[in-house]
Structure 1
């Protein structure tokens, strides 16, 4: 039997995107600010590897990310979400601001993006099975199917299937 938390996540992610956004805005009515971490494998050779998560509904992959809590510094939120979703516990000081550090999305939210590098061979990935189904390392030149939001965000950093599109260069 699935835990209640896993069932609630599945129900939430099956809702249309516009309904999910409306629910989030009811909780955070003024604006939505998220923290995202691009975690690279420090041992990988060119082109490198990136940590990705498979979350509900489970068809595509995304980055460790989440909404900031009230009055939470973005770097603290990024470290917290990384730990909650992947099991990788880093101090906020170990995260570097990505360039660009903030990505403003047309749909009304802002992602503050950070980068980190960890050795994949000695880093244990731990997921809860509710919010995150699976965490894995993928070569930058052979990424799995990405969520639309993840593909768009990665494109700002020259990564993924949309990286060559003029709007992201």
Structure 2
């Protein structure tokens, strides 16, 4: 195997870097590498997958899905369950949250990744509770007649053949 010699400045930078204390090296790497945001989304639907639970949240009139950012070191399925409960009052066991296909959707040029889960609930018997602050309204909507939604929600739903952009999914 033949090795190419790195330019002098690069070699010097490498020597300096690897002689730094480990915590300092880790901090430099974290600052220098691209970051991304992780979230979890729950598609709450009836057994026939004919109705979808959607939320209207501040600041607008458009609808979205139960979702939120993951806390540090939180598993996506745990974040999905937490956000679902915080935003709708619906409690779900981890076994009930089924990874969607695809199970992750990448947004904003790879800087945002949503982990997506399905949850089956009966709209007639499921009590949905909103706080009026984080969520203004919640409603079950026929999948073939969804309300005006945020652009991000429309793009996410397109991956599952739903919403106004379904033909682009």
TM over 0.5: yes
Residue among 156, 159, 164 paired with 2:162: 159
C-alpha distance in structure 1 between counterparts of 2:93 and 2:68, whole Å:
17
Counterpart Cα distance in 1 of 2:121 and 2:60: 25
Instruction: Structure 2: give runs of 5+ residues left out of the alignment.
Output: 1-33
Q: Can you list the C-alpha shifts for 1:101-149, whole angstroms capped at 9, x where unaligned?
A: 0011134100000001011111100001111001100000110001000
Question: How many residue pairs were aligned?
Answer: 135
The structure number with the bigger radius of gyration is 2
Dislocated runs of 4+, deviation >6 Å: none
* TM score, norm. by length of structure 2: 0.77
The equivalences for 1:2-151 within 5 A come to: 30-42=35-47, 48-107=50-109, 108-151=111-154
Unaligned residue ranges in structure 1 (runs of 5+): 1-28
Deviation at 1:41, TM superposition (A): 1.7
RMSD between superposed Cα atoms in Å: 1.3
Equivalent residues of 1:32, 1:109 under 8 A apart: yes
TM-score by length of 1: 0.77
Give secondary structure in 2 for the equivalent of 1:51: strand
Does the 8 Å CA contact 1:79/1:89 hold for their aligned counterparts?
yes
Is contact 1:58-1:133 (8 Å) kept? no
User: How far 1:92 sits from its partner (Å)?
Assistant: 1.6
The alpha-carbon deviation at position 31 of structure 1 amounts to: 2.0
